[in-house]
Amino acid sequence: MPLGYNKVLGDSRKSAEARPHRVALGDWPTMVQDPRANTIDALLGHAASAGYEGFEFNVNSWKRYFPGDSDTVVARKARAACEKMGLQIFGATLFTHDEQLRKLGAMTGIIDQLKVVLDMGGEFANFQMVIHPDYSNTAGLYREDERYLRDCANQVTEIRDECWKLGLNYYCEVHVDRITEDPAACSRILDMASCELTGDMSHNICRGFTKGKHIERQLKHMGHTHVRMARQYGDLSAVVEDPKADWAAKGVTWQLFQFMKPALAQGLSSRVITGETGPAFLVKDTLTQDAKLVPLYRAMARVADAGAQGIVVKVDDPADLKPWG
């Protein structure tokens, strides 16, 4: 799909097609009081034992372990601690607000954040670009405002180009309350500012947005992903007590996988699949929930590995692929 200067990330000793997809833990599930995340040693031990290969963490998520240190020092300490355990910080999610980006010198602050991602050893920056308050909760009304969409596209282009200058991949996340929340508006922004997307497809599934040309376009542009279970017309973040049984019954695990198959079949340029279940709604024990789903994330990685090499993996029935054995 090349869409600019995003690179295929991962092991540079291997050809782009042969670089395996890795499984990461997102920072959102660790924002809880839990013995498995209360110290950095506990967090790294939990991640390694659960089968993750690394993290997608913003520097702010590491600060709890290194109080009083500057962002740069925190980044370097976190990187060293992860590498000692054989883990990697693959990248980070950053946030922007419309009013912030309109201020003089706004890009200087964003560039500073990107440099910290590099200090952590990260290879990509995923951006959640918060929609203007006037268009928040308006059911996609902003799709009719061509001037605003052009402003959004200009912001995407400017940030994307700064990422590329620093050697980072750029992704814009599909997410409610963000400039990507309406699939038609997202498509129009892509017309003006071609880029790769982070497909957090739970945000589409829970609203019943599962087909049509705009959804297909989001999947085509998906170069990275955040994975969370969602129920159509239900919870954005759904509890799965028994993933193996849920998969066999074609529950939420199967439904998400089927929805994401076209994007996985392309391979993801980030070569990372990030799990992030919450805390939200009924998902309270987030670290346990995500750890239960690591086999699903790994199955997605295998399908994406094959897709990157032009190999189609047939998964038309739960029996065709058994993530939990």
β-pairing verdict for 88-97 and 169-173: unpaired
The letter for the amino acid at 283 is V
Residue ranges of domains in the chain, CATH in brackets? 16-320 (3.20.20.150)
pLDDT one-digit tens code per residue, 119-170: 999 999 999 999 999 999 999 999 999 999 999 999 999 999 999 999 999 9
Distance CA 8, CA 93 (A): 18
pLDDT one-digit tens code per residue, 96-106: 998 889 888 99
Could you tell me if 219 and 190 are in contact, meaning their C-beta atoms sit under 8 angstroms apart?
A: no
The letter for the amino acid at 88 is Q
Distance CA 112, CA 26 (A): 21
Q: What's the whole-number average pLDDT of the chain? A: 96
pLDDT along the chain (325 residues), means of 10: 79 96 96 95 98 98 97 98 98 94 92 98 98 96 98 97 97 98 98 97 97 98 97 95 98 98 97 95 94 98 98 97 97
| Model confidence, pTM | 0.97
Q: Is the dihedral angle over the CA atoms 123, 214, 266, 161 positive or is it negative? A: negative
